[in-house]
Every structure is written in structure tokens, then in C-alpha cells.
């Protein structure tokens, strides 16, 4: 079973830490990692700093070979970075593909990263690699992929199970391949309870996927 590990490291323990230290209002968020011939190219959104300030800081970051500003949306800069492979750190662990990085962000409070693992051995290896590079870290949370999905879509465990079970049973297909009574029997609950769970779950799922957070039009709220 896959599980998620969230860690935090000091702001100066990852590339662009110098930028955040110099400009405390800066906020950096990982957009994606793109495979390249020599590893992975990271793309980040950087807020509350100018392109010139990023270029100035780049020269003082030994873990960075280059930073290119690709787009300016007015409130954020989309940047592509090239990491210095000769500089040890969390970045070379990521580039070597030893972990699956799901997300990352940096601010004056430090760096936050979210990794997915399929074995506890792989998770332990990350701890060993960080310790070998003398990178201080703190494990903030460990949870299953299912728990991540439940939080992401604001679902309770019962609602998640109801939606998954009805979908897998073909309840939403045309023509239907099962009834609520049949699915409810498999879950050992009444059809009325299943109906309430999947309707509330579907409402939460639509709220979190069709509307922006804070949109008062969601579900008539």
C-alpha cells in the first residue's frame, strides 16, 4: 500500500533558500518536475519577488546552475531551475529518482515537501540520505493515499467508501449494473444509509472540483 510522508527542512537547506531569507515575503511552490537528459528540471512558481531579485540571488546559490523566468502572471513568476549536480542536498536525491515527490513549497518558515512511497524501506532510505547529507528534517505527517484523497475532496471515510463502491459496482452507468440495495448489502448498511452517504459525498466532491475554494456559488452556499 502506498503512503505519504510530509517533511520540513530549514529554509537554507534547499536551493533558493537565499532568496527567501533575503525577501521574507517570498513564497515558492513546486509546479512540476520534467524529465531531462541529465535528470529532472524543476519548475516553480515564485511570488512576492521580482525577476531581477531572482537573478541577483541566483549568483549566490551554489546549488543552482541557473534560473530562467518563463512567465509573469502579474502575481507570480513561473521559473525553470537547473540544479548543480555537484552540490549535495535534497535536490540531488530528488533528481536521482530515489523518491516520488508530490509537492513542495518554501517560505520564511522553511521548506515543506510531500513524498509518496510504496515501501517502508524506501521511506527509511530517504531518512538515511538526508542524515548522510547533514540536512536537518522533521517528519510532520505519515498517512495513506486514501486518507490524502479524503482530505483533498473533503470526504469522510464513509462517504469515500460509498462513492467508490457504487462507482465500481456500475451504479452510475447506463444502464445501471447494480442497485443501491445490492451495494448496501456488500457494505453491510441499509440502502437509506448508503444513499445519504453517496449523495453527501458527491456534493462535497463536486464542490471541491467544480468550484474554486471560497466560491459562494458552490452548492448554493
Span 146-195, pLDDT tens digits? 666 666 667 777 888 899 899 999 998 888 899 989 999 999 999 888 99
The set of residues, in sequence order, having a beta carbon less than 8 Å from that of 193 and lying 6+ positions away, is 184
pLDDT of 102 reads 87
Phi, psi of 44 (to 5 degrees): -130, 150
Whether residue 78 contacts residue 30, with contact meaning beta carbons closer than 8 Å, is answered with no
pLDDT in tens, 204-218: 888 777 764 444 545
Q: Look at residue 132 and tell me whether its pLDDT is greater than 70.
A: yes
Using DSSP bridges, classify how beta strands 110-117 and 64-72 pair: parallel, antiparallel or unpaired: unpaired
Q: Look at residue 4 and tell me whether its pLDDT is greater than 80.
A: yes
Q: What percent of the chain has pLDDT over 90?
A: 36
* Beta sheet of 138-144, edge-to-edge order: 64-72, 77-83, 39-47, 27-36, 100-107, 110-117, 3-9, 138-144
The three cell numbers of residue 141 are 505527517
Amino acid at each position: 500500500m502506498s503512503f505519504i510522508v510530509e517533511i520540513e527542512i530549514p529554509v537554507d537547506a534547499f536551493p533558493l533558500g537565499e532568496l527567501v531569507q533575503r525577501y521574507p515575503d517570498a513564497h515558492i511552490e513546486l509546479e512540476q518536475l520534467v524529465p531531462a537528459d541529465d535528470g529532472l528540471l524543476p519548475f516553480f512558481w515564485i511570488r512576492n519577488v521580482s525577476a531581477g531579485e531572482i537573478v541577483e540571488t541566483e549568483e549566490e546559490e551554489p546549488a543552482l546552475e541557473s534560473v530562467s523566468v518563463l512567465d509573469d502572471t502579474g502575481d507570480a513568476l513561473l521559473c525553470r531551475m537547473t540544479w548543480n549536480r555537484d552540490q549535495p542536498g535534497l535536490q540531488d536525491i530528488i533528481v536521482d529518482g530515489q523518491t516520488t515527490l508530490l509537492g513542495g513549497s518554501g517560505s520564511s518558515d522553511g521548506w515543506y515537501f510531500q513524498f509518496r512511497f510504496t515501501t517502508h524501506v524506501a521511506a527509511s532510505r530517504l531518512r538515511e540520505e538526508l542524515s548522510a547529507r547533514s540536512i536537518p528534517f522533521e517528519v510532520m505527517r505519515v498517512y495513506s493515499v486514501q486518507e490524502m484523497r479524503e482530505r483533498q475532496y473533503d470526504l469522510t471515510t464513509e462517504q469515500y467508501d460509498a462513492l467508490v463502491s457504487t462507482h465500481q459496482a456500475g451504479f452510475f452507468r447506463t444502464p445501471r449494473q447494480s442497485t443501491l440495495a445490492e451495494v448496501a448489502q456488500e457494505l453491510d448498511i441499509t440502502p437509506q444509509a448508503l444513499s445519504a452517504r453517496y449523495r453527501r459525498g458527491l456534493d462535497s466532491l463536486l464542490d471541491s472540483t467544480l468550484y474554486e475554494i471560497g466560491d459562494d456559488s458552490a452548492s448554493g452556499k
